[in-house]
Amino acid sequence: MDSIWALYAVALGLGTAETVYDTAAQSILPRVVRRDQLSRANGRLYAVELSANEFVGPPLSGFLVAAGVIAAFAAPGVLWLVAVVVLWPMRGSFRAGTADPGAGAKPEPEPGRAGDGRRTVRKRRIATVGTEIAEGLRFAWGNRLLRTFAMMTGGFNLASSAVMAIIVLFAVGPGSPMGLSEPAFGVLLATMAGGSVVGSFLVEGMERRFGRVVLIFGSVLTGALMVGTPALTTNPFLIGAAFVLGGVGVVASNVVMVSLRQRITPDRLPGRVNSAYRLVAWGTRPLGALLGGLVAEVWGLRAVFAVAAVVMLSLLTGMTVVRGRAMEDAEREAAEREESNDGPGTPEQVDPASSETHHTQS
């Protein structure tokens, strides 16, 4: 019994570390590459992560477990150490600025020395963790595009988590509707990961050819196809094809949304905005798993896929806000703010579409 609690503690630690890493990686990327290279950089980052998580990690973990418990637990530690060594030589300033309300303003003359021309930079206010979290939430929620992206991502994760919670019951075993063996089920899930990896390499070209709005619109449609196909058929090839298309769409929309968020977020706020955004967008995953279980219990397994598809299609209402002009205006305002170094101001100053008077009800 003691060992299971130790595993829980390790899982909690790894989950916390991964959350910190994901947020930091998204926040640091704009300091590493130019703004016009963010789509390519995000695509490559997704490709490496997906390849390692879905294709390299599982067979490697099986090999390490077979080699022995010590090897299974020591190898991840060694790999983390290698990652630290690789990151160590990176040059640059990656520290976020402080939440100084006077940022961008001229320093005030030092009291008592107004006539000698000497100036001093006013002391920076040390913000509490709660203040910083609130600031990130205000910016993310006050910007209409980011708010819409967060709600669309949250809805997508809600629907996909509901499906993933029950898909094994639908697919595996002789008594299941699909009747797949365990290895065949692993291959089925790998099709989604494979589509994501392929999409991560194609997204830059697709963005140039079709535009960002089309990619986001297409990701919703392919997402509905991915979660809804099992409601119509048990054919593993058709479901696998839908999973491939869904994987491509997921990565395409992720790259577009993340890259835009990186471009329009003030330099001192990326960590806070990313963490606040991900709290809203990813917090629906456990709710989705709960929803999938409840729907399956009341109406059956196929109903879960149908409900998830309806939820996914409802995200198309967000396209009334996600317009090419709105994204271009947000990027232009961010570039002008960066050039003038006037600070982020209010979310309405960052994005004209963020004003509630221009809000279109979904």
18-46 pLDDT, tens digit each? 888 888 888 888 888 888 888 888 888 88
Beta bridge partners, 245, equal none
Beta bridge partners, 180, equal 172
Q: Which of residues 359 and 142 earns the better pLDDT score?
A: 142
> Could you tell me the pLDDT band of residue 291, with boundaries at 50, 70 and 90?
very high
CA-to-CA distance for 57 and 99, rounded, in angstroms?
39
Can you tell me the mean pLDDT for 40-62? 78
Say if CB 26 and CB 262 are below 8 A apart. yes
* DSSP line for 265-320: S-TT-HHHHHHHHHHHHHTTHHHHHHHHHHHHHHH-HHHHHHHHHHHHHHGGGGGG
Can you tell me the mean pLDDT for 125-152? 80
The number of angstroms, rounded, from the C-alpha of 149 to the middle of its chain's C-alpha atoms is 10
Residue 192, pLDDT above cutoff 50: yes
Residue 86, pLDDT above cutoff 60: yes
Per-residue pLDDT, 103 = 37
Residue 127, pLDDT above cutoff 80: no
CA-to-CA distance for 242 and 116, rounded, in angstroms?
73
Which residues, including other chains, have CB under 8 Å from residue 213's CB and lie 6 or more apart?
319, 322, 323, 324, 327
For the entire predicted model, the pTM comes to 0.77
Helix (H) or strand (E) holding 314: helix 301-314
Distances in Å between the Cα of 156 and the Cα atoms of 115, 162, 205, 315 are: 61, 10, 24, 8
